[in-house]
């Protein structure tokens, strides 16, 4: 999983995978069938094991504003850890279908869409609880904060520190005042 996370689908070779797993190429194919199938298993494992604290922030916070802020702060911490690849496998694993398998890109798009849905649903909860106004654009705001998170992934991959990512969080939360209204902090 960490090789795919660090190098993406296309950037990871079969030789690197077999070396990391301590097996030979025929054993990899016997166990997984293909590099593509191994990548799909790796992304499933990643989804279950990495970053769960990021997404838990959405349910744990008492307000939508605090949920979004905690979500972004936890993202900054997780993406900038130095004991593992920086950034997010789901955001950076494969972006272009012309070079990666259609199944890989389709799977990653699905996972990103699920993440966007989680953000939207937390905002919808804020509307339902009266914290956010009835006409609040849950889709647009969820897309905005998902885009901020994706940008943080790219920044982290490029070497941004946790404090640099936290500055992004500060800016993104300043936008909350405009998106939700000044009395909705």
Complete DSSP assignment for 41-99: HHHHHHHHHSSHHHHHHHHHSSSHHHHHHHHHHHHHHHHT-SSS-SS-HHHHS---TTT
User: For each of the chain's 185 residues, which pLDDT tens digit applies?
Assistant: 899 999 989 899 999 999 999 999 999 999 999 999 999 999 999 999 998 999 999 999 999 999 999 999 999 999 999 999 999 999 998 865 555 568 898 999 999 999 999 999 999 999 999 999 999 999 999 999 999 999 999 999 999 999 999 999 999 999 998 888 766 55
Which residues, 6+ apart, have CB-to-CB distance to 118 below 8 Å?
Answer: 55, 58
Domain boundaries, the chain: 51-179
- Which of 34, 50, 65 minimizes the C-alpha distance to 177? 65
Fold of 51-179: Tetracycline Repressor; domain 2 (1.10.357)
What distances in angstroms separate CA 162 from CA 10, 15, 60, 156, one per listed residue? Answer: 27, 33, 22, 8
Helix/strand/coil for 130: coil
CA proximity to 103, closest of 162, 170, 35, 36: 36
């Amino acid at each position: 999983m960490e090789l795919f996370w660090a190098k993406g689908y296309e950037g990871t070779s079969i030789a690197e995978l077999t070396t990391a797993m301590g097996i030979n190429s025929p054993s990899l194919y016997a166990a997984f069938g293909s590099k593509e199938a191994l990548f799909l298993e790796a992304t499933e494992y990643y989804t279950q094991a990495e970053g769960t604290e990021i997404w838990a922030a959405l349910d744990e916070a008492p307000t939508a504003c605090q949920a979004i802020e905690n979500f972004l702060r936890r993202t900054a911490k997780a993406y900038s850890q130095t004991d593992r690849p920086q950034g997010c496998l789901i955001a950076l694993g494969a972006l272009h279908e012309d070079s990666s398998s259609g199944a890989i890109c389709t799977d990653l798009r699905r996972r990103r869409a699920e993440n966007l849905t989680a953000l939207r649903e937390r905002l919808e909860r804020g509307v339902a609880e009266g914290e956010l106004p009835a006409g609040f654009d849950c889709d647009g705001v969820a897309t905005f904060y998902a885009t901020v998170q994706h940008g943080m992934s790219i920044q982290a991959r490029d070497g941004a520190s946790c404090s640099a990512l936290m500055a992004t969080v500060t800016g993104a939360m300043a936008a909350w005042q405009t998106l939700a209204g000044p009395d909705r902090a």
